[in-house]
Amino acid sequence: MICFLCMAAWSWGPASGPIEAQGPSGGVVAGFCPGNGDCFTEHSGSGCDDPTCCALVCSREPTCCIFDWEDFCVVEALLGCETSACPASGDCFASHGTPGCDDAACCEAVCDRRPFCCEFDWDTTCVNLAREECGPPRCPAEGNCFAAHSTPGCEAASCCEQVCEEDASCCENTWSEACAVLADRLCSNEVCPSEGPCTQFHLDPGCSDEDCCNRVCALDPKCCSGFRWDRKCFEAARDLCRVRCPQPGNCFGLHDTPGCDDALCCARVCERQPDCCRIEHPWDGDCTSIALQECLPNCPTGLLRAVDPPANVVDAGQPESGIQTLRIRAPSKADRRCFRLCDGMNGNHRNRIVSMVENDGEYTLGLEIPLVPGTGTTLNYESHMGGVEQLFYYATPGDVDGNSGVLANEPTNLLICLTSSEPSAPLFCPWGLFSYDLDRDGHGSLLDLMRLIELLIGWNGFKPQLDAPPSLGVSCP
């Protein structure tokens, strides 16, 4: 049997062995000071690596120099020994059971506010203080290393550090296109792309989607240097590798590829079910079901009526400042997607609705460009039930009476309209200002007659609409 009392009587001089440790009753305890292991961390074996602290602790707790250095030895060390816990092992942005953390400046800033963090353990309160005092960790951070994004840093720590070593702004401002190019140069793996699906097990390193392959291998190089694309690799691919919205394919129909063609709807669906945007995953029944719930516009059944300009208007005014705002009445609370515009081409540009304001069932629709001269424009309202209501507008500069295109008698019609007070005058200019205010100054005058003559002879390079009756430029079913 070991005689612990005998052991407690052993004494070692400073020159011949471990430092003496006085017991609480004044007796000498034979401790191994210095021993192995950090004085401020629990470990197996007696003593710790700081001889002065070791002796102090063992003078209070002799068993710390006889048996293992347990938690109460650590407490005695924390209470009695001078120490700086900065830096120490442990991530400043993750809780751990030891004091201090691995970034000296951040550690000291936190412990100045809360000494507990450097005396006992680095708990969630310490982590929150680190985030306040030190900002988010530089690397890794959210975002694909191989694509630009609006936040600093990227998801693969090693790649992130390499890029930021060359261009510090990538970890200070945004991960720009230049950062993505640097990542491609520094972190891309020559194995990528290779054979085999990224989201399934196979016996070769790498996978068939180059971007996904690089993303996974930047996080775990073994996926491109080992002998197979194993569970760790394909699970990382399923987590990391998603397509961006929009993608080809109807959001309300099944297709074999991820994502769909409506950017907003695609994003809404993939927020609820991330698999719908995961590479190699089809847009399946779950995705279409969510799309039907999230994305169908509210389009109540009802009538569509023109307010200003009136329906079937023929605008005879100068083309560069033609009709660009439509006021209409339609069912209340309709979604903007219920309205669709079809017209002719202006060069390679087709018109579209760019704004909509509703006031109790009256809508003001702003168009991107004025109605295209020489063609008709159709406005569709498409309801939930599949019904379609339509309004028609025509831009034919110079066609004062709106009957048969621009003819030789248009100046006479305009002169009669401007000078007559007879009830028959509307026959010559049936659309009011849209017929006789050709110069767009808000009233009719002889200046409009001058503008009509300019339109007839090709003013300012304008192609006259002679003998061109208004017609729809494109179908709008």
- Return the domain boundaries, the chain: 4-80, 243-296, 301-477
3-state SS of the chain? CCCHHHHHHCCCCCCCCCCEEECCCCCEEECCCCCCCCCCCCECCCCCCCHHHHHHHHHHCHHHHCCCECHHHHHHHHHHCCCCCCCCCCCCCCCECCCCCCCHHHHHHHHHHCCHHHHCCECHHHHHHHHHHHCCCCCCCCCCCCCCECCCCCCCHHHHHHHHHHCHHHHCCCECHHHHHHHHHHHCCCCCCCCCCCCCCECCCCCCCHHHHHHHHHHCCHHHHCCCECHHHHHHHHHHCECCCCCCCCCCCCECCCCCCCHHHHHHHHHHCHHHHECCCCECHHHHHHHHHHHCCCCCCCCCEEEECCCCCEECCCHHHCCCEEEEECCCCCCHHHEEEECCEECCEECCEEEEEEECCEEEEEECCCCCCCEEEEEEEECCCCCEEEEEEEECCCCCCCCCCECCCHHHHHHHHHHCCCCCHHHCCCCCHHHHCCCCCCCCCHHHHHHHHHHHCCHHHCCCCECCCCCECCCCC
Across the range 221-242, mean pLDDT stands at: 93
Ranked by mean pLDDT, which of 50-54, 123-127, 268-272, 380-384 comes out on top?
A: 268-272
pLDDT of residue 310 exceeding 80: yes
- pLDDT, position 20: 45
Confidence of residue 94 (pLDDT cuts 50, 70, 90): confident
Question: Under CATH, which architecture does the 301-477 domain have?
Answer: Sandwich (2.60)
The mean-pLDDT minimum among 84-93, 178-187, 260-269 falls in 84-93
Mean model confidence pLDDT for the chain: 85
Give pLDDT tens digits for 47-58: 988 888 898 898
pTM score, whole prediction: 0.48
Give pLDDT tens digits for 412-423: 999 998 888 777
Closest to 239 in 3D by CA, of 215, 203, 205: 215
